[in-house]
Amino acid sequence: MAATSTSLFSSNLHSLNSQPFSSSLSFFRNVHSALSFPSSSKPSRGVVAMAGSGKFFVGGNWKCNGTKDSISKLVSDLNRATLEPDVDVVVAPPFVYIDQVKNSITDRIEISAQNSWVGKGGAFTGEISVEQLKDLGCKWVILGHSERRHVIGENDEFIGKKTAYALSEGLGVIACIGELLQEREAGQTFDICFQQLKAFADAVPSWDNIVIAYEPVWAIGTGKVATPEQAQEVHAAVRDWLKKNVSAKVASKTRIIYGGSVNASNSAELAKQEDIDGFLVGGASLKGPEFATIINSVTSKKVAA
């Protein structure tokens, strides 16, 4: 099966390189629809209190979706929702709708951008600078997302530089890491995640305003989701890496959130895991009531603790 998986992945990757970016989602779906996913052989620790000391964090990445009308409805739904108070909530609209969302959404929810340029603005066609994002009222930016890595072609070093610049200008960073299916099946999950973490660690002067988002690429937009045990295993390893390579203080206070087909049905079970400090949500964040349910899954962690 592994040989077949590798061949299928390579074939689809070759196809992706010759297609427009709009085909990227179908690329990932095609790769994974015919594949089975390994389950973790390690059992859960059985402890469900938060290992980190940070506040539960839920971000909604709206990606390249929405119109003025649909976003107005989504914002209205979120404004009407009853949200648990002890959760930091962030939404990341497409760039062209940031101002609309900022001017209409409740102050309870902060605004993130989905990307930013590596330095000051200037003659960089199509890019958005950190300074422009701050001018619109953004507090956060998502950097290192798998679609930026594997579709656009951003590498670890470039992502690290972008992160350092955003932090230096006062934006918080949702720093994404995660492995491809091929890498998971080859037993390289930790190696890949640690390599990506090291690129962040080598570039940033401080971890004070960073949230780490673990998003296994094989679970993004595919309907496949890591089991709670699989996600917990990686989150615990990431926290241990921070403890050994940065500091115990950073390991404790840095929030490590999970992304990859999170929805209202699975968020409560995922939230119970000790090292899962929240979520980065894609498609489900485009539905106000469902996103509210995911935000309120913090109650599962509180009950379990």
What average pLDDT does this structure show over 116-124? 97
What average pLDDT does this structure show over 73-87? 97
What average pLDDT does this structure show over 74-80? 98
More confident residue, 32 or 279: 279
Q: How would residue 50 be classed by pLDDT, with cut points 50, 70 and 90?
A: low
Q: Kindly report the CATH class assigned to 57-117+127-248+259-283.
A: alpha beta
pLDDT given at position 28: 37
Contact criterion met (CB below 8 Å) for 38 and 185: yes
Q: Is the pLDDT of residue 26 over 90?
A: no
Q: Is the pLDDT of residue 135 over 50?
A: yes
Q: Is the pLDDT of residue 170 over 60?
A: yes
- Tally of residues, the chain: 305
Residue 47, helix vs strand vs coil: coil
* For the chain, domain boundaries: 57-117+127-248+259-283
Residue that has been written with the tokens 């930016």 in this structure: 141
Q: Is the pLDDT of residue 30 over 60?
A: no
Q: What is the DSSP letter of 119?
A: S
pLDDT given at position 221: 78
Give helix 2-17 / helix 24-33 axis angle, nearest 10°.
Answer: 170
Amino acid at site 42 = K
Contact criterion met (CB below 8 Å) for 270 and 279: yes
Q: How would residue 40 be classed by pLDDT, with cut points 50, 70 and 90?
A: very low
What average pLDDT does this structure show over 297-303? 86
More confident residue, 6 or 73: 73
Amino acid at site 257 = I
Amino acid at site 259 = G
Strand partners, 60: 91, 281
pLDDT given at position 74: 98
Give 226-241 as a DSSP string. --HHHHHHHHHHHHHH
Active site residues: 145, 215
Q: How would residue 49 be classed by pLDDT, with cut points 50, 70 and 90?
A: low
